[in-house]
Amino acid sequence: MTATQPPDPAGGRWTDRLLAEGSDPDPRFTLANERTFLAWIRTALALIAAGVGLSLAGDLIDAPLRVGVAAGFAAAGAGVAALAFRRWLRTERALRRSETLPPPALAPVMSYGLAIAAVVLLGALLATR
């Protein structure tokens, strides 16, 4: 894909700086990177929704623990959303430069974090019943 006018690399827009690097990769790779980004955004929305749902579950868990776990889910959702863009940008840069793709640093954090949150939630549910 060729632009009629090359982007100004000294410009302040991050898109101009990104497009000034390397060459256009195969569109299939760029679209796959975008689908992965959107999957992380869906995960972030699900975490935020879990936090909202848990905060409204009044009789399920006692208030201090419920609020803490709900805030943890919402904060995790915000973190995932922020890191998803960072991951997309790093991967897109690597694709444009024909470099090795960066490892998925967010995946182990998410899997271990959700496992810990599930154990805490299960413990809270069992302790209050």
* Element of type H or E holding 9: none
Exposed / middle / buried, residue 30 (Cβ in 10 Å: 0-12, 13-18, 19+): middle
Q: 63-97 and 106-128 are packed helices; what angle lies between their axes, rounded to 10 degrees?
A: 170
Digit-by-digit pLDDT tens for the chain (129 residues) are: 444 555 555 556 888 888 888 889 899 999 999 999 999 999 999 999 999 998 888 777 778 888 888 898 899 999 999 999 999 999 999 999 999 999 888 888 888 988 988 888 788 778 876
Q: How many CB atoms lie within 10 A of CB 45?
A: 13
Query: What amino acid is encoded at 124 in this protein?
Result: A
